[in-house]
Amino acid sequence: MVTQLSIFIQNTKGTLEKVLRLFKNSQIQIITTTLADTQDFGIFRVICSDPERAFLVLKEAGITATLTQVQAVGLDNTPGQAADALEIFAAADIEISYLYSFLLKNKGILIFKTDTRQRADEIIKQHQLTTLNDCDLLKLAE
């Protein structure tokens, strides 16, 4: 499992920069992000070096954030690996609420959230997929 920050930010000039500046000033390294927006606000999802401390820094600055446990799977950096992994989850009737991916040290990383976390863990183990946790991602990011 990986701890993800979900930061709720207004869609106004300078808001995202303020969040990034808080991370910089607190010496918190961002590993990956994704941003989903609506007309009024965005959800800035962040995997970082110290999510608990980042949460407190954001809270002190009056920025709403939550900590969420998400799953991370490491894949070979070859075309089709993400499709193959998602096919395994679909065949097991595992619904994925959201997913984002990135490369880290030539390794594909899938970050995803599902409401059937325990079942997903079973399928990951059954199919011998590589699970990653916070420490694994930090080591890859060094």
Angstrom CA distances, 77 to 71, 101, 102, 108, 134, stand at 18, 12, 10, 5, 20
pLDDT tens figures, 108-137: 999 999 999 999 999 999 999 999 999 999
Reported confidence tier of residue 141, pLDDT bands at 50, 70, 90: confident
pLDDT value at residue 135: 92
pLDDT tens figures, 23-45: 999 999 999 999 988 777 889 99
Element (H or E) spanning 46, and its range?
Answer: strand 41-48
pTM given for the model: 0.89
